Amino acid sequence: MHIENIVIDSPMVNPSTIFAYDNKDWEDNEKIKTCYTSERFLPKILKEIGIVKSTSEVKRNKPKLCISLDKPDFLEIKWGKKKCWILVGINKEQEYRNKAFKLDRKDREYNPRDIRMNYINKIIGEE
């Protein structure tokens, strides 16, 4: 049995709804073939699950797969006869930092050491 499904960080949908036909299929088949990770560099993920022997093999043979999966997405990767599906979620910590930085830029008061409570309230919608 090899890993076919990869879930990165926090997906917007439940992985069982994407990878399985129903709950029984999820429990019996797909759950054991699913790997959860926070790694976002695709060659490293392919190496971790055993599809390729090294990240340099990906760089040599399929350079278009040398990408970082930074945005929510759903991909199908085929390497020879092996296939895997990747469900990319959002990185909550990075999203928080991005929102705080955008708010600071709007107010023209960017100070990375000082994210005040009013910024946090703007992010979560409490003003």
Percentages (nearest 5) of helix, strand, coil residues in the chain: 45, 20, 35
For 27-79, how does the pLDDT look when each residue is reduced to its tens digit (9 = 90+)? 999 999 999 998 999 999 999 999 999 999 999 999 999 999 988 899 999 99
Other Cβ atoms closer than 10 A to 90: 15
pLDDT category at 113 given cuts 50, 70, 90 is very low
- Percent residues over pLDDT 90 in the chain: 54
- Residue 88 is classified by DSSP as E
Q: What's the whole-model pTM score? A: 0.71
pLDDT category at 112 given cuts 50, 70, 90 is low
Domain boundaries, the chain: 5-88, 92-124
